Amino acid sequence: MTRHLAEAGSAPVAGPEWVDEVLLRGPDAQVCLHVDGPVNRAALRRMVAERRARLEAAGLRAGGSLVLRLPPSLAFVANLLAGWRIGAQVALLDHRLTPFEVGAALDRLAPQVVVAPGAVRGNPLRAFADVEETTTPHPGRPAATPHAVIQLSSGSTGPSKVIGRTAADLIAEVDRYTRIDGVPLPGERIVVLASMVHVLGLVGALLYGLHAGVQVRPPERLTGDSVLDAVAAETSPATVLGVPFHIGLLASVAEPPRLPQLKRMTTGGELVPAATATAFLDKYGVPLGNMWGMTEVGVIATDLFGAHRPALTPAPGLAVVERAGELLVSRPESPYVGLSDPTRWSDGWLHTRDAGVVDPDTGLVTIKGRLDSQVSVGGLKVDLTEVEATLTALPGVEAAVVLHDEAITGYVQLAPGVSVDAVRAGLAERLAGYKRPRQLHVLAAMPRTTTGKLVRDRSVLRQAPRQGR
């Protein structure tokens, strides 16, 4: 289904026909997106052709490299498909990153073309922005790998991982979705709350929806009432797709209307507490399905009917095993770009850094929590080591430890004359808001072990003398 094109000095990237065959094919009049009105396939193909012309005018060619830094929008969708239609590699940056983070990411990725927001109009609570983008040549280099999409695991600085997925990998994941019991069917709708910059919204909503003939419809605004309005707007069955954070949006609706169109809500990201799942079922009377996945591989396991909570069934075509308390997922090749680390991938197995067990009789997977430093804040992944590295690098910060203690919490030792307000200002310049510590405790001296290592025990840090005491 794919062929490979290469230019001198570039890596082969999938050719354009996979976009036509897997994503854009279908009747001209079929509505595939609904953003401020219906968008049929003929209109989407015209948008893709227009963006393709702009990208080519900026110098993008097959085997080239493109960075998209756009909020979820029709402009994002059209530029993404246009970049792939050219045969280029597309890297996705979260539009909420600070200029400091964006600059670091561009230095790291070295794209040849950058598409960024120009004018963004309308309510900031809009789920899909009304954005006029700018398309600019950038002094970068062609794609160095054959990956169709590049994503950063948790940001753009520090220890974040660069993750690459080929067109064949994306196609395989879309195919997995088609074989999962309970996914939206052709003629149905996905009311998408998850960001399309990240894998759940990107593949689970956009790519699967385009392939399967499922209309993708974001709500007008990210509020509970607006989500329910999107469900009620048409008579066809609708699945709400988001993360546990979004359950709160629906929970905020005191007396939701009866909605026979609502088929289920499916969440990815962190585990949903049993009490939350029960409350949702009581209020809406439809299944709350769970999905487990990673940027590196996409959807791994699901329980879309809520029948096995908290256990999940591995997605078709994937094997999940438990070794030394860690869950490993089958993946023929390493997804990491520029990283050779056998603790993350080795011998065909991806190390998830999730603790869990696999039932030897049923194969059901139960996740126990993270083994590493990555946490979820409002459905967005944050690597605490990135936050700690950024905090430690600020002028006047002599030492720091960052933990997740109900919220992201930083413990710092400051040089004489340095204020905590200056530290907060430095963080605001360098880190997106959802990554910043909600609390900063200034200690007289950071607790250390006898060998000089920083102590990371919460109880010790909480009891350590504060500066000025």
pTM of the model: 0.84
Enumerate the domain spans of the chain. 4-316, 377-463
User: Does domain 377-463 match CATH 3.90.1640.30?
Assistant: no
Question: Across all residues in the chain, what is the average pLDDT?
Answer: 90
The DSSP annotation for 427-451 comes to HHHHS-GGGS-SEEEEBSS--B-TT
DSSP β-ladder status, 397-404 and 345-346: unpaired
Question: What confidence score (pLDDT) does residue 158 get?
Answer: 37
pLDDT in tens, 154-176: 532 334 689 999 999 999 999 99
- Contacts for 322 with CB less than 8 Å, ≥ 6 apart: 328, 356, 357, 358
How much is the pLDDT for 246? 87
Task: Report how far residue 14's alpha carbon sits from residue 167's, in angstroms, rounded to the nearest whole number.
Answer: 6
Supply the DSSP string of 328-343, one letter for each residue.
EEE-SS--BSS---TT
Block residue for tokens 């109880």: 459
Phi, psi at residue 148, to the nearest 5°? -80, -35
Among 27-36, 215-224, 251-260, the minimum mean pLDDT is found in 251-260
Distance CA 345, CA 351 (A): 6
d(CA 304, CA 263): 11
Q: Find the helix packing angle between 384-392 and 420-430, rounded to 10°.
A: 120
Res 3 pLDDT > 80? no
* Residues 377-396, mean pLDDT to the nearest whole number: 86
**pLDDT over 90 at 389, yes or no:** no
Mean of pLDDT values over 130-144: 96
**Does this chain's domain 4-316 share its CATH topology with 377-463?**
no
Q: Is 248 helix (H, G, I), strand (E, B) or coil?
A: helix
CATH of region 4-316, choose from 1.10.645.10, 3.20.20.70, 3.40.50.12780, 1.10.490.10:
3.40.50.12780
DSSP, collapsed to helix, strand or coil, labels residue 177 as helix
Name residues whose C-beta falls within 8 Å of residue 81's C-beta, 6 or more positions apart in sequence: 19, 23, 24, 44, 48, 51
- Which of 382, 375, 399 is closest to 455 using CA atoms? 399
Closest CA to 413 of 452, 370, 467, 376: 467
CB distance 410 to 441 below 8 Å: yes
Tokens encoding 387: 């936050």
User: pLDDT, tens digit, for every residue of 78-113?
Assistant: 999 999 999 999 999 988 889 998 999 999 999 999
Per-residue pLDDT, 418: 94
